[in-house]
Chains A and B, each alone.
Chain A
Amino acid sequence: MLRSLALTLTLTIATACTTREPAKSEPSPAEPTRQDQRVELELVRVPDGLAAPVIAELGLPATGLIAARHRIDPGWHLYWRNPGGAGLPVRLTSTPSEGSTLELGPVLYPAPDRFDTSFGWADEAILFVPILSEAGAGAGEGLTIVSKWVACQSEACVAGENHATLGAEPVGEALGLELQGMLDRLPRPLGERLASHAWSQTDERVTLELSLAGDVRSIELFPDASDPALFFSESRFDPERRTLTITWRLGSPGHTLPTSQGVLAWTDSAQTRYHELRLPWPALPN
């Protein structure tokens, strides 16, 4: 917990520091780059009309969002913040333009899809970067983001990186719909949607049973990595009782647990919604 807090604060400091540093290179503005054949990267500022409701729902201290849009070759996929059984999370690094006062927050990862034992996105992955502060309109223009990733398909994996620079081009209708689709996948706080939950433990396992309020047809968990303290075993939805049972196997004592158990994807009669499952962990054996 302390380590996570220190890391967050430190990265915020480091990000704030870089806002005074000029950019080292001058890539052409807003041109998607194709430095590797598997992935293209494009940066756009999310229109305020799309960003503002999400910022409010997530309770972010942000003035806007930057979208890092990865277009992925057919058959390949990129990886979520917990890649699961294989792969590596997409990692973004920023370099603000000369004289910029931009301050950016931690990357927001939309809920993923499942690829066998892994979690990620095929075809397109849009990650969002909150703008925590900016002086004046257009402060983000010239911001360069480098994306480092591992892409895999069933036969092979490759590592690569792309860079892109934020321009001032308006977002068209088609891209706006794509952005909205991925913004909808940003996990919201669970809040009052959580109807009940109960932890239980044995010598070998930790189990959480939960139910959600509303017309819930299915629930799935995309777990955060919690090893080597706990190893995620399974999550199973009981359609009769409308409960989700999540099981972890106990690992080695003394290791830090993540602040979140993962992301819940639940479906009603109309759509799938995503919530961050962030409950205090039970006391584990020392």
Chain B
Amino acid sequence: MHSHSPLLPCSLALLFALVGCDANHPDADPKTEPGKPEPGKSASFSAPAGYVAHFADALNSTLTSTAVATAETKAWGCSVKYAGDGPSATAKLGEPAPAFALPDVDGKTLSLAEFAGKTVVLEWFNPDCPFVKYAHAEAGPLRTMAKDRGSEIVWLAINSGAPGKQGAGAERNREAKQEYAIEHPILLDESGAVGRSYGATNTPHMFVIDPSGKLTYAGALDNAPMGTVGD
């Protein structure tokens, strides 16, 4: 049972126990420079105790050409609002990422091939999914992560929602770019073909592709859906 407790000793006890446990977690990443956000983590985000940044850790490893310790996690969030059933995923970790070409919200087509030689992040996106709203909110873990990375990476959001489903369509996603101050492209995959080829099941669902075009990570943003570490 979770309880609200304004009593400082109790809060400290809770914080101490959780931080103390997390310090031994194999994914815990202590490399934080004073005054800088932890690499790959949004500057606006304050991580809860016990936080494990699965995606950011994998992105950092990919950028430094080191092996990704946890290359696969189960994504959390809303289900991707596909139009019915479709074929199984073809994407596999360690193998070339499936090629695609999709229009952005202004109708300009972008293809994965044009970013060959760069590290690419794919983020499955639905602007009205509460998990995406949380992640892109002012203090959310994705609010500034793409911008913080600058030209180091290519970040593509992909919306595989079918027409008429929650958060689908060019107009709503054009609005969402403003609403969430998103500078990277949002691509529309209304047939769901690209989403299915990657096995994207949730929003958000994160994928990392290394400069050689191989998939190095598939899974959750972190271990804290809506900011709460699982219990």
Contact = CB atoms under 8 A, between A and B. Distances in A.
Interface of A: 2-3, 6-7, 9-11, 13-15, 17-18, 20-21, 83, 85-88, 91-95, 104-107, 116-118, 129, 146, 150, 152, 155-159, 225, 227-228, 231, 251-252, 254-255
B38 interface: no
A252 B9 contact: no
Enumerate the 8 nearest inter-chain pairs by beta-carbon distance, A residue then B residue, closest first: A17-B10, A159-B130, A156-B166, A10-B17, A254-B26, A86-B79, A18-B3, A227-B74
A99 B79 CA distance: 44
Given A17-B10, A20-B7, A254-B26, A94 B76 contact: no
Given A88-B225, A227-B73, A227-B74, A95 B166 contact: no
Given A93-B2, A156-B166, A11 B14 contact: yes
B21 to A, nearest CB: 4
B4 A93 contact: yes
Contacts of B69: 252, 254
A158 B129 CA distance: 7
B78 interface: yes
Contacts of A93: 1-4
B81 interface: yes
Contacts, number: 138
B3 A91 contact: no
A18 B130 contact: no
Contacts of B112: none
A114 to B, nearest CB: 14
B20 interface: yes
B230 interface: yes
13 contacts: A2-B21, A11-B1, A14-B2, A18-B7, A85-B201, A88-B225, A93-B3, A94-B4, A95-B4, A105-B1, A152-B78, A159-B133, A251-B70
B32 interface: no
Contacts of B4: 18, 93-95, 146
A106 B13 CA distance: 17
B65 interface: no
B130 A155 contact: no
A7 B21 contact: yes
A48 B219 CA distance: 45
Contacts of A15: 1, 3
B166 A155 contact: yes
Nearest to B167: A156
Given A21-B7, A94-B1, A88 B13 contact: no
Contact of A86 (B27, B50, B201): B201
Interface string B13-25: 1100110111001
Given A86-B202, A157-B130, A228-B73, A14 B3 contact: yes
Given A7-B18, A95-B3, A228-B70, 11 more contacts: A3-B21, A3-B50, A14-B11, A17-B10, A18-B3, A18-B7, A20-B7, A88-B76, A225-B230, A228-B74, A252-B70
Contact of B18 (A2, A10, A88, A107): A10
Interface in B100-132: 128-131
